[in-house]
Amino acid sequence: MTSLVIVTGASRGLGRAIAQQLHAAGDLVLGLSRQRPEAPFEQWACDLADPLPVAQRLEAWLATLDAGALRSATLVNNAALVTDPQPLADSDARALSAAVRVGLEAPLLLTSAFLRATRTWPARRRVLHISSGLGRRGMASTGPYCAVKAALDNLARAQALEEALQPNGAKVCSLAPGVIDTDMQLQLRSADPRGFPDVSAFVQMKHSGRLDSPAAAAAKVIAYLNRADFGTQPVGDVRDA
C-alpha cells in the first residue's frame, strides 16, 4: 500500500522540497502550483488565486482513485503569496485580494473538497496547513500575511473539532515550519525600510545563518506529519517538537 499526498505550491521552496522528499520515500504525490516544472511526480499547473475550479478538479480526481490501495491520504496547504511589505493603506488592492485567495480561500475550498471526497475512505486522513510565526504575532507592514496565517490556525482548530465527531475523522494541524531561506525571505530582506521597519531583522537572520534550507525545513515538517500523535494539537510549531 502507498500513501497519497497533495501539496500546494509545489513548484519551488518548501512545497517543492516536501513533494520531492515524499516522492523519494515512495508516496504518490500530486503537486498543485501556478507553474509546472519538470518533476518525477504528477503536477497540475493551476492558479490558486482562482481556487474554485481547482477544488472541483481535485474532488473529481480523488473520486477516480482506488481508496482501498491507500494507506493514508494527506493534503498539505503550503501555497501563499506575500504582498510587498508596506502599510495596508499603501498596498495594491489586487495584490491584497490575490494574497487572501491563495493563502486562505484556496485552503478552505481544497480542504472541503478533500474531506468530502475521502469521507468514506478507510485510509488515515490528514490535513496540514503550513502556517507561520507571523500568524501568532503581528508585524508592521505584513498584515495580509499575518491575517491569512492566523486564519489558518483558527481554521485548524475548528476543523479538528468537526473531524473528531466523524468516523475516521481527519487529523488536522496548522504548523509553523520555522524560518526558511526562500523567495519570501529575499522579498522581505529587499524591502524598503521606510515601509518595512523590521527589514534589518530579516537581513540579520540571513547573515547569522539562522535560516533553514527548504530541504532541511521539509524534513522537519515531514517528521512532524508522520508523528503518531499528529493532530492531537491543532496548532503546532516544528521548533517545539
Question: Tens digit of pLDDT for each residue in 17-69?
Answer: 999 999 999 999 999 999 887 889 999 999 999 999 999 999 999 999 999 99
CA atoms within 13 A on the CB side of 183: 13
Any residues with CB less than 8 A from the CB of 81 and at least 6 apart, and which? Answer: 49, 95, 98, 99, 102, 103
Count H helices and E strands in the chain, helices first.
8, 7
Domain membership flag for residue 151: yes
| Residue located via cell numbers 503537486 | 31
Give the pLDDT of residue 37.
Answer: 78
User: What is the pTM (predicted TM-score) of this model?
Assistant: 0.96
What tens-digit pLDDT sequence spans the chain (241 residues)?
899 999 999 999 999 999 999 999 999 999 999 988 788 999 999 999 999 999 999 999 999 999 999 999 999 999 999 999 999 999 999 999 999 999 999 999 999 999 999 999 999 999 999 999 999 999 999 999 999 999 999 999 999 999 999 999 999 999 999 999 988 888 889 888 888 998 888 889 999 998 999 999 999 999 999 999 999 999 999 998 7
Whether 184 is covered by a domain: the verdict is no
Residues 6+ apart with CB under 8 A from 228: none
Range of the domain at 123: 2-178+214-240
pLDDT of residue 24: 97
Please give the Cα distance from 21 to 23 (Å, whole number). 5
Q: What is the CATH number of the domain that holds 148?
A: 3.40.50.720
Asked whether residue 132 is domain-assigned, the answer is yes
**Number of domains composing the chain:** 1
The residue assigned the cell 509546472 is 36
- CA distances in angstroms from 85 to 19, 94, 239, listed in the order given: 28, 15, 25
Rounded Cα–Cα distance for residues 230 and 216 (Å): 20
Predicted pLDDT at 201: 86
Closest CA to 4 of 59, 104, 76, 103: 76
Confirm if 50 and 110 have CB atoms less than 8 A apart: no
* CA 106/CA 77 separation, integer angstroms: 8
Q: Fill in the amino acid letter for 22.
A: L
Cell reading at 174: 496548522
Position 209 in a domain: no
